[in-house]
């Protein structure tokens, strides 16, 4: 059995490592901190541009989209190297990993270059407009309406939980274009610039503090969106939604793996019981990396299997919550002191990643809800991966 990578993969790692040694911004350059998932300070934009230009942003992509046609294993060590150094992949994570990734799959050539490439280069930021007050788990019930009028769609309705929308330049928005069709068949996708008249983003706080403004309600009132902003076919949005959710769940399990690895490094067990629980989390982490890699390998072979990405999404979200719950409990009352730090300051990562144990634990709940709740992942795995009967 060979437990090491082949030399070409290690050479790839060494090249990336040398790039990071030479180009990673210093702590002094990163003093302005990102305030939402679509707010990128200039240093974060410049850094992302450098990754793009050197083929290190999305290594599996061709150079025109910030990559170098890397293999699956090379992509894996790229993620491993960023995690080891605690470097956050992009400070507009949904823009790069969901919206640009979806446009590269479903967009026209013109849309790839006009909308995806500026996001990948860090010139523009994007947010994901899927969920609505009555359409979260049951996304196909969404009601935001788009009516075609000549060369425009006129959009009316509301989204919610739209991370970073108030700082984003545009939204990948799921809208109903045929109210009479079965609900999965009447959905389309529009690129909606937030500067258009009639778009109002209202950020609201989360449980970690009133200053944490990432979630938004987004209201659309008679917003006129050029018809050329339609992504994929009219009423073909459900296919795009599934692809976008596959990208989102891949982004999420990679994030879980990073945060579990960080927690395993920061948490020092004192009792045999804590050590025993930690051992379980180490096994969770290894299982997550291996199961997740299966999905990456399938995608690299061109196999479309969105359903099975639910496995690492479910495992990782719950494993992260378990290990952070363990660390919080072990810290006792000290873990509740907020704000405080529970790990070394890492200027290239989000401040949340080394916040108080309370904050790290509280934030882990989002991972079992966003991108589809754990219950929904269980339903998908039961029905679409295991083929169990629907009751
Ligand atoms: C941190 C975070 C970031 C997010 N960012 C975005 C974003 O950028 N853009 C966006 O569009 N959305 C975003 N969301 C929203 C997210 O996609 C929804 O919260 C999620 O899909 C669940 O929908 P809901 O909140 O309406 O809950 P509901 O669908 O109302 O579910 C409530 C409860 O019922 C359970 N339930 C529902 N249906 C079933 C079923 N069929 N079987 C079993 N149990 C069921 C759920 O598991 C849950 O426990 C984000 C959410 C979080 C937490």
Torsion of CA 242, 244, 249, 254, to 10 degrees: 150
As beta bridge partners, residue 190 has: 173, 230
As beta bridge partners, residue 176 has: 145, 187
Distance 10 CA to ligand 1 centre (A): 40
- The pLDDT, as a whole number, for residue 3 is 64
Q: Which helix (H) or strand (E) holds 101?
A: helix 101-106
Taking Cα atoms as reference points, which of 349, 342, 291, 340 lies closest to residue 318? 291
CA 52/CA 353 separation, integer angstroms:
24
Which residue's C-alpha comes closest to atom 7 of ligand 1? 162
- The pLDDT, as a whole number, for residue 150 is 96
Which residues contact residue 26 at a Cβ distance below 8 angstroms, ignoring those fewer than 6 apart?
347
Which residue's C-alpha comes closest to atom 40 of ligand 1? 376
What pTM did the predictor assign?
Answer: 0.94
Ligand 1, residue 174: give the atom nearest the CA.
11
- Report the phi/psi class of residue 153: left, alpha or beta, with left for phi > 0 and alpha for psi in -120 to 50: beta
Distance 293 CA to ligand 1 centre (A): 25
Residue by residue, pLDDT tens for the chain (391 residues) are 566 788 999 999 999 999 999 999 999 999 999 999 999 999 999 999 999 999 999 999 999 999 999 988 898 899 989 999 999 999 999 999 999 999 999 999 999 999 999 999 999 999 999 999 999 999 999 999 999 999 999 999 999 999 999 999 999 999 999 999 999 999 999 999 999 999 999 999 998 888 899 999 999 999 999 999 999 999 999 999 988 898 889 889 999 999 999 999 999 999 999 999 999 999 999 999 999 988 878 877 778 788 999 999 999 999 999 999 999 999 999 999 888 899 999 999 999 889 999 999 999 999 999 999 999 999 999 999 999 998 7
Best of 132, 137, 241, 320 to mutate for ligand 1, by most ligand atoms within 8 A of CB? 137
Q: Give ligand 1 pocket residues (Cβ under 6 A).
A: 94, 127-131, 136-137, 161-163, 366, 369-370, 372-373, 375-376, 379
- CA angle, 150 then 151 then 156, to 5°: 85
Distance 276 CA to ligand 1 centre (A): 33
Which residue's C-alpha comes closest to atom 26 of ligand 1? 136
Distances in whole angstroms, Cα of residue 103 to Cα of each of 14, 188, 229, 380:
31, 14, 11, 24
Ligand 1, residue 373: give the atom nearest the CA.
47
Distances in whole angstroms, Cα of residue 376 to Cα of each of 15, 19, 373:
40, 40, 5
- The pLDDT, as a whole number, for residue 304 is 79
Distance 370 CA to ligand 1 centre (A): 6
Which residues contact residue 7 at a Cβ distance below 8 angstroms, ignoring those fewer than 6 apart?
none
Is 4 exposed, middle or buried, given 0-12, 13-18 or 19+ CB atoms closer than 10 A?
Answer: exposed
Which residues contact residue 128 at a Cβ distance below 8 angstroms, ignoring those fewer than 6 apart?
94, 98, 99, 162, 163, 171, 172, 244, 248
- The pLDDT, as a whole number, for residue 72 is 82
Distance 206 CA to ligand 1 centre (A): 15
Which residue's C-alpha comes closest to atom 4 of ligand 1? 370
Best of 159, 167, 190, 370 to mutate for ligand 1, by most ligand atoms within 8 A of CB? 370
- The pLDDT, as a whole number, for residue 298 is 83
Integer distance in angstroms from the first to the last C-alpha of the chain?
43
CA 57/CA 248 separation, integer angstroms:
17
Distance 363 CA to ligand 1 centre (A): 15
Best of 367, 373, 391 to mutate for ligand 1, by most ligand atoms within 8 A of CB? 373
Is 189 in a helix, a strand, or coil?
A: strand
- The pLDDT, as a whole number, for residue 1 is 53
- The pLDDT, as a whole number, for residue 302 is 79
Is 20 in a helix, a strand, or coil?
A: helix
Which residue's C-alpha comes closest to atom 37 of ligand 1? 137
Record the tokens describing residue 292, joined without a space.
Answer: 């997740």
Distance 368 CA to ligand 1 centre (A): 9
Identify whether the C-beta of residue 107 lies closer than 8 Å to the C-beta of residue 231. yes
Ligand 1, residue 127: give the atom nearest the CA.
8
Q: Which helix (H) or strand (E) holds 217?
A: strand 209-226
As beta bridge partners, residue 42 has: none
């Amino acid at each position: 059995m060979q437990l090491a990578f082949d030399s070409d993969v290690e050479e790839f790692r060494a090249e990336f490592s040398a790039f990071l040694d030479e180009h990673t911004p210093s702590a002094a350059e990163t003093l302005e901190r990102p305030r939402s998932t679509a707010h990128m300070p200039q240093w974060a934009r410049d850094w992302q541009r450098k990754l793009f230009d050197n083929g290190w942003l999305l290594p599996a992509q061709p150079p025109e989209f910030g990559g170098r046609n890397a293999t699956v294993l090379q992509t894996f060590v790229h993620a491993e190297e960023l995690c080891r150094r605690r470097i956050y992949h992009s400070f507009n994570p949904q823009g790069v990993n969901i919206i640009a990734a979806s446009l590269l799959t479903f967009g026209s050539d013109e849309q790839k270059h006009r909308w995806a490439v500026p996001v990948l280069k860090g010139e523009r930021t994007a947010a994901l407009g899927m969920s609505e007050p009555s359409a979260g788990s049951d996304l196909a019930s969404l009601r935001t309406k788009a009516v075609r009028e000549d060369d425009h769609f006129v959009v009316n309705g509301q989204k919610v939980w739209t991370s970073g929308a108030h700082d984003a330049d545009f939204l990948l928005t799921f809208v109903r274009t045929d109210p009479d069709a079965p609900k999965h068949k009447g959905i389309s996708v529009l690129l909606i610039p937030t500067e258009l008249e009639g778009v109002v983003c209202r950020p609201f706080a989360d449980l970690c503090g009133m200053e944490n403004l990432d979630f938004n309600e987004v209201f659309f009132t008679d917003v006129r969106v050029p018809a050329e902003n339609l992504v994929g076919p009219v009423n073909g949005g459900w296919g795009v939604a599934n692809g976008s959710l596959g990208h989102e769940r891949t982004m999420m399990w990679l994030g879980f793996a990073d945060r579990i690895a960080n927690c395993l490094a920061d948490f020092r067990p004192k009792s045999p019981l804590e050590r025993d629980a930690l051992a379980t989390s180490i096994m969770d982490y290894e299982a997550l990396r291996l199961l997740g890699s299966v999905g990456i390998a399938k995608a690299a072979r061109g196999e479309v299997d969105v359903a099975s990405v639910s496995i690492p999404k479910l495992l990782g979200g719950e494993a992260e919550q378990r290990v952070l719950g363990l660390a919080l409990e072990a810290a006792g009352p000290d873990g509740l002191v907020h704000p405080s730090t529970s790990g070394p300051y890492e200027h290239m990562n989000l401040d949340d990643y080394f916040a108080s144990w309370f904050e790290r634990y509280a934030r882990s709940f989002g991972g079992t809800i966003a991108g589809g709740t754990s219950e929904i992942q269980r339903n998908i795995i039961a029905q679409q991966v295991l083929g169990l009967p629907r009751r």
